[in-house]
Amino acid sequence: MSDLIVNNPKNWLLELLYNANRTDVETFRLYQCLTRYFSDNREFIGTIEEVIPNILRHKPLNDLADDCFFSVAVMPDAIRSRKRRRGAPGVTYYSRTGQQAYDQLGYSAIAYNWSFWVSYVNTHIRLDKYDK
């Protein structure tokens, strides 16, 4: 499996998620979420976005669900830091918002298994693995 991460990272990620033994629908949907963000360069944390300078809008439901999952599962320390420094919402807020968004999108299995998936991704995919 270590060869896959170097030679074919998307297949590595898909295999890693399928090893969680959950439904194909939720596994593939979270795979799409994660692959989107590993190549995207955008703000993940928050429920609003700037569409054009000085014009804000609530994120579309699909983006909101994915942003919340990615932020909580991969970057929870960034959420905690923002909460401490700026008084922004915490991990619990983004978890609940993400669960509700996935449920409204028709991915109730992801909402139901939210804690499992967050823990699984946080354990297996860490962007901040370093000694503090």
3-class secondary structure per residue, the chain: CHHHHHHCHHHHHHHHHHCCCCCHHHHHHHHHHHHHHHHCCCCCCCCEEEEECCEEEECCHHHHHHHHHHHHHHCHHHHHHHHHHHCCCCHHHHHHHHHHHHHHHCCHHHHHCHHHHHHHHHHHCCCCCCCC
2 or 35: which carries more pLDDT confidence? 35
> Is the pLDDT reported for residue 109 higher than 80?
yes
Kindly state the average pLDDT of the residues 94-98: 95
Mean pLDDT of the chain, nearest integer: 83
Q: What does the pLDDT read at residue 44? A: 65
Q: What does the pLDDT read at residue 101? A: 95
Q: What does the pLDDT read at residue 12? A: 86
Q: What does the pLDDT read at residue 58? A: 77
pLDDT tens profile 18-67: 999 999 999 999 999 888 877 666 666 667 677 778 876 778 888 889 98
3 or 57: which carries more pLDDT confidence? 57
Give the residue extent of every domain in the chain: 2-124
Q: What does the pLDDT read at residue 42? A: 61
